[in-house]
Structure 1
């Protein structure tokens, strides 16, 4: 009787051992108490990925924008007058009749004037670049080279700042974003000088053709002149903005 009782007890024991062997992890969890120093899992909050465009817009509006305009054309077409009118500032002498003791000097070097403009919370640093008296000489061969060199130098300067290892947090942007090209109001068509210059400039900058002193033309002449200019631009493969 005692042997059978012993055998019955021995039959129960392997069953318990088998359960522990099958689930050793559960057994350890039951035996080992939870550590008091154990930290609760960290929960991450909402990071706003879907509003990143709005965040970038607010940052850009806070820092402000930079916009650089270049004006190109012959002397006497109103380039300096446009600059003075835009900023109500005297960067160049107005085209008034000079006296015998006083002569109005032509622009002999590239000049720029910068104004800070703020409207509805948006800040913009606007720079207008005045060019030399383009096409004023008898021989105007390669007269666009100083202007082309200036534009390319600004691109190179900005590129060098970008590839610099210790570059600035905010790189000053001196690149020419837009070029206003003044066309004499002849009423006929573009001159070879205009075509050659805009063809070269259109590869490096956005060109906006402007008919200078258009009020000297009648409405019919103005419409016809615009059509001739558009045809000349298309036939010579000149891309203008827009």
Structure 2
């Protein structure tokens, strides 16, 4: 890596430590794929509670015995929650907004869910366009555009379902979509390897433009090329999380 690139990276890191980073992550996938556990593990503390509610918030449960509403499908509920984190030993502050989508994939017909998620993503672009068009801007305005969407695929050991394909095809033009296999520890190493292979074959077959960690050998530095090539080769990522903390060799781990 050239000295100019090293200097630019150091300057960027120093700026991030001073100013902090704002990042917006959307998590999507059917119930039971491990979204909540992943978010709480990532943040190192309870952030999401049952049914996608913020941790500690009261959760309302629907009365399925009420004949007047028993036939209705609840649909997706888009719930952003922001947490403040420290990224590394240098104390880089990260203001992380998690956008959960509880209820997605639970209905027989998920057409409305596709529309709601797409509308939410587009609304963030509309909001920032409106803010930038104002003569006097709001200094406290927060850019809530979603940087990346982690899509949790069920650990079936097979390829993508029709629901997975449709969701990623629709949302990939609007946001960086990264497919992950939730609760990957429920698969054997051989099953996981086969599942990854089948999922990537489906992504290629259906031409789903997921985020594939792009790099340019001519333009990018050697480290960037190596890192992105390695990350691309690991897709889809296997996710394993736990909210239980245990002590191993004097260290607390999850």
- Same structural fold, with TM-score higher than 0.5 when normalized by the shorter chain: yes
Whichever structure has more helix as a proportion of its residues is 1
TM-score bracket, normalised by the shorter chain, equals 0.5 to 0.7
Choose which of 65, 82, 93 in structure 1 pairs with 2:50: 93
Give the Cα separation in 1 of the matches to 2:134 and 2:60: 47
Q: How does 1:1-242 map to 2 (within 5 A)?
A: 58-87=14-43, 88-93=45-50, 109-118=77-86, 119=88, 120-169=90-139, 171-241=141-211, 242=213
What CA RMSD, in Å, does the superposition of the two structures yield over aligned residues? 2.8
- 1:92, CA displacement in angstroms? 1.4
| 1:69–1:177 CA contact under 8 A, matched in 2 | yes
- 1:121, CA displacement in angstroms? 3.5
1:23 corresponds to: none
| 2:76–2:113 CA contact under 8 A, matched in 1 | no
| 1:70–1:129 CA contact under 8 A, matched in 2 | yes
2:239 corresponds to: none
Give a deviation string over 1:22-64, Cα, whole Å, max 9, x none.
Answer: xxxxxxxxxxxxxxxxxxxxxxxxxxxxx99977764554221
Give the Cα separation in 2 of the matches to 1:188 and 1:216: 13
- 1:85, CA displacement in angstroms? 2.5
> Whose radius of gyration is greater, 1 or 2?
1
Gaps of 5+ in 1: 1-50, 96-101
Task: Please state whether the residue corresponding to 1:181 is helix, strand or coil.
Answer: strand
TM norm structure 2: 0.65
Task: Please state whether the residue corresponding to 1:144 is helix, strand or coil.
Answer: helix
- 1:200, CA displacement in angstroms? 0.9
Gaps of 5+ in 2: 1-6, 53-58, 63-73, 214-254
TM norm structure 1: 0.68
Give the Cα separation in 1 of the matches to 2:182 and 2:201: 19
| 1:93–1:104 CA contact under 8 A, matched in 2 | no
Q: How many pairs are equivalent?
A: 186
2:232 corresponds to: none
| 1:107–1:131 CA contact under 8 A, matched in 2 | no
Give a deviation string over 1:136-156, Cα, whole Å, max 9, x none.
Answer: 112223431111111110111
Give a deviation string over 1:171-220, Cα, whole Å, max 9, x none.
Answer: 41111101010101121211111111101111011111111121121111
| 1:71–1:180 CA contact under 8 A, matched in 2 | yes
- 1:108, CA displacement in angstroms? 5.2
